[in-house]
Amino acid sequence: MTTATDNLFTGIAPHVPTRYAPGHSYEPYPYTVQGIWSPVIYRRSVVTEPDGRLARIVDPFPAATADRTLDRDPITIDNPRAVAVLCGATAPMPRGRDLDGDWTIPAAFTASELAYDVTIASDEHLMAAWCEAHAVAAALNNGTVRRLGLKPEDVEALLGAERSVLCGDSRLAGKRGELRWARVDTAGLLRREQWLTARQTRRLRDGLVALIQPTGTRVGVPRLEGKLSSAGARWVETTYGLTSAGRNALDTIRAQYDGPVRCRVCGCTDDRGCPPAVDGGMPCSWVDADLCSACPGGRR
């Protein structure tokens, strides 16, 4: 189950201004707010805390990290980052008393407290993944996901269908694991396939309004006798994609993106607008999603 990395995040593009750029803020991300879904950027490597817990390091300034306004090493295959949307016990916690220092999350996540998790190996993909995670977190927090009749774990399953990595196995028809998908990983790290529960499969595929549908099949013949084969009997692997309702659901989720923006021409932001003299003595304002009133095409 593989997919081309060039098109992994094209779905979020229409909902994100041309130049997403909050600029460097010296205020850490408000992870301390309890009971909400938070987008995070974390390192895949595991560290051992003084109390023996296994954890992963979280960036306290994720927006600036994604925007590259924070001085840091480039994102590469040898130095990847992961982007997730977490809640509850998996939410970031400071390692010490300094909120500007390192934050950590548990090394392992529970399914009910994880709604998005991708690993990327380039700065371009990091920015796109952060924007998508920001939108998913907003859609969970403002009730959009619930109003769509979805649960948090359904979001990634729909993303898997969009990326053509959601597959069905006829040997497990009607059981947990009939449908499975692989998380985005452009760093080539080993990541386990994710299995949908039978109830989740029914909700997405067999509900009153189907969100996923078969797009192709492949007949398989097991080479070795195993717990899923029956004396080498043939089985069918089905690839799933989105229905029009499924595409609309993802579009609605992505449209909840409410992160900060920067003007695509001059680079000003909400916090750092153009000087009043540039715009006829008045502070600039937004005339488009990523264009301020002081720039060509946006002047009043």
Q: What is the pLDDT of residues 2-57, one digit of tens each?
A: 333 456 787 887 766 555 555 555 556 666 566 789 899 998 888 888 888 899 99
Mapped onto helix, strand or coil, the DSSP state of residue 216 is: strand
- Which residue did the predictor score with more confidence, 207 or 210? 210
Angle at the Cα of 245 from the Cα atoms of 110 and 138, rounded to 5 degrees: 45
Evaluate if residue 228 carries a pLDDT over 60: no
- Which residue did the predictor score with more confidence, 276 or 2? 276
- Is 222 in the same domain as 252? yes
- Is 167 in the same domain as 282? no
- Is 281 in the same domain as 254? no
What is the distance between the alpha carbons of residues 263 and 21, in angstroms, rounded to a whole number? Answer: 9
The predicted structure's pLDDT at residue 2: 33
Closest CA to 96 of 28, 142, 160: 28
Q: What is the pLDDT averaged over residues 187-211?
A: 85
The predicted structure's pLDDT at residue 283: 81
Q: Could you give the strand order of the β-sheet that contains 93-94, starting from the edge strand earlier in sequence? A: 93-94, 103-106, 54-58, 38-48, 81-86, 114-120
How much is the pTM?
A: 0.82
Q: What is the pLDDT averaged over residues 188-201?
A: 80
Q: Which of 95-109, 117-131, 204-218 is modeled with the greatest confidence?
A: 204-218
What is the distance between the alpha carbons of residues 8 and 185, in angstroms, rounded to a whole number? Answer: 10
The residues pairing with 262 across neighbouring beta strands, listed in sequence order, are 19, 269
Q: What is the pLDDT averaged over residues 104-128?
A: 87
- Which residue did the predictor score with more confidence, 252 or 278? 252
- Is 249 in the same domain as 288? no
- Is 110 in the same domain as 225? yes
The predicted structure's pLDDT at residue 4: 35
Res. 143 pLDDT band, cuts 50 70 90: very high
Domain span at 286:
263-300
Evaluate if residue 115 carries a pLDDT over 90: yes
Q: What is the DSSP string of 278-292?
A: GGTTS---EEETTEE
Res. 141 pLDDT band, cuts 50 70 90: very high
The predicted structure's pLDDT at residue 279: 52
The predicted structure's pLDDT at residue 180: 92
- Is 129 in the same domain as 270? no
The predicted structure's pLDDT at residue 75: 86
Question: Quick one: CA torsion of 146, 160, 202, 247, rounded to 10 degrees?
Answer: 60
pLDDT 10s digits, 56-92? 998 877 877 887 777 678 888 888 899 999 988 888 8
The predicted structure's pLDDT at residue 226: 53
- Is the alpha carbon torsion for 219, 211, 204, 110 positive or negative? positive
Q: What is the pLDDT averaged over residues 241-246?
A: 96
- Is 270 in the same domain as 179? no
- Is 241 in the same domain as 272? no
Q: What is the total count of domains within the chain? A: 2
- Which residue did the predictor score with more confidence, 288 or 138? 138
From residue 201, alpha-carbon distances to 97, 106, 238, 292 in Å are: 44, 28, 13, 45
Closest CA to 111 of 152, 147, 148, 155: 152
- Which residue did the predictor score with more confidence, 222 or 75? 75
- Is 277 in the same domain as 248? no
What's the gap between Cα 143 and its chain centre?
A: 17
- Is 215 in the same domain as 280? no
- Is 170 in the same domain as 289? no
Q: Which of 27-41, 71-85, 139-153, 195-209 has the lowest mean pLDDT?
A: 27-41
Taking all residues of the chain, what is their mean pLDDT, rounded to a whole number? 81
Q: Which of 44-53, 108-117, 137-146 is modeled with the greatest confidence?
A: 137-146
- Is 150 in the same domain as 284? no
